[in-house]
Structure formats: structure tokens, C-alpha cells
Amino acid sequence: MRDEQRLRTRTPESRAFADRVQAVMSLTGRLNALPFDDLDARRALLRDIFGGPVPDSLSILPPFYCDYGLHTSFGERVFVNQGCYFLDFGGITVGDRVLIGPRVTLSTAGHPVEPDERYDFITHAPIVIADDVWIGAAATVTPGVTIGHGSVVGAGAVVAKDVPPMSVVTGTNVVERRRIEPSDRRVDGGGQEGRVSEVSRSSTARSGGQRSRP
């Protein structure tokens, strides 16, 4: 993970982080319970979640989920669709005119891969989304990633390395696992399997292989 930092668990700093997570989860719960047209209350809760004023041009559609809030910054005319997750302890920077599709996850934190360290540290690294980026539905951006200006991230992609400016990246492919062979048994509209072919075979057998004439 590029620019990775570590927070040791079971320390005053990690306890302060956990306290903030609890507070923000409560705030996002209240945000997501608001009537959709209560824009003033929504903006007030977003200020509490992010620890200060947010641009008037910012649009975040609930439900919205965040675990820290204090390390996210937004440019102008940013649109965040429904069901997104911002896990921002490591820092999330969102540029101007960024479009973020539904169910996108921006995750800046994790744990060490080594099992003997996994429960002792929280790892984190910043995510930077430059101006005019469009992130498609259900994409996941991992810690330490920068997405260059004007780029597009396809729906469902998992972005684990930097995206150059003015690029289109996708991370999903349709993989053909096997072919389904057509059955040689037919079902008629009444649900009777192969009735016509069975009658035909029976008639042929009785006539010694020759169809009987009418």
C-alpha cells in the first residue's frame, strides 16, 4: 500500500478513533432516517459528519455511510449517489465536478497482511480523486489510490492501483464457465414430455420399422 501509515491498536489514539467512529455512525443513522426533502437538516448533519462546512454545490443522496468524516474534503459540484461508503480515516480528497455512482466504496483503511500483526495495527493511506472523474456503480477504490483527472472507472471495478488521467478502466469480465447442452427431451404446452415422439416410436415398432398406412 503506497504511503501507508499505521495506527497501533489498544492505544489512546486508537480509542479516540473508535469513539469518533461511534459518533459518526450515529450521525449517519440520523441522516439516513431523514425525510428525503428535508435538505436543511441533511446539510446540517453533513457538516457534523465532516467536521465543518461543505460546499453548497455538494449533493449527497442518502443512504450514505461514513466511519470517520474528519478526513474528507470536497471540491465544487460533486455528486454522490445513494448507498455509498466513505471510510476516510486515511484521507479522501474529491476534486471538482466528480460523479460517484451508487454503492461506491472508498476505503482508506485496512490491516497488515501478516497474521501476527493483523490485530495490532490499522493501516491507512489516502485516496485522491481528481477533477472531472466519474466512478461507476458499485466500484471499490482501495487505500493509497489516485484517480487522475477526467478518468472513468467502470461499474463494479476494484481499483487497487493509480488510474492515469483521461483513462477508462474496468475491472469486471464475463467469464463463460461452461455451455449448457440442449436437452433431447421436449416438453409440450401441457407439460407432457415427448408424447408425440413416444407414440411415433411405438407405432414404428409395431409395424416392423415401417410406418403403417392409414
CATH code of residue 52: 2.160.10.10
Q: Is residue 103 part of a domain?
A: yes
Q: Is residue 178 part of a domain?
A: no
Q: Is residue 161 part of a domain?
A: yes
* Arithmetic mean of pLDDT over the chain: 87
Average the pLDDT over 174-200 and give the result. Answer: 56
Q: Is residue 75 part of a domain?
A: yes
| Active site members | 111
Q: Is residue 212 part of a domain?
A: no
Q: What is the pTM of this model?
A: 0.80
Q: What is the pLDDT of residues 129-146, one digit of tens each?
A: 999 999 999 999 999 999
Q: Is residue 207 part of a domain?
A: no
Total count of domains within the chain: 1
Q: Is residue 180 part of a domain?
A: no
pLDDT band at 212 (very low <50, low <70, confident <90, very high): very low
Q: Which domain holds residue 87?
A: 5-169
Q: What is the pLDDT of residue 2?
A: 67
Q: Is residue 184 part of a domain?
A: no
What backbone torsions phi and psi does residue 25 show, to the nearest 5 degrees?
A: -60, -40
DSSP 158: E
- What letters, b where the CB count within 10 A reaches 16 and e where it falls short, cover 171-205? eeeeeeeeeeeeeeeeeeeeeeeeeeeeeeeeeee
Q: Is the peptide bond before 63 cis (omega within 30 degrees of 0)?
A: yes
Q: What is the pLDDT of residues 92-122, one digit of tens each?
A: 999 999 999 999 999 999 999 999 999 999 9
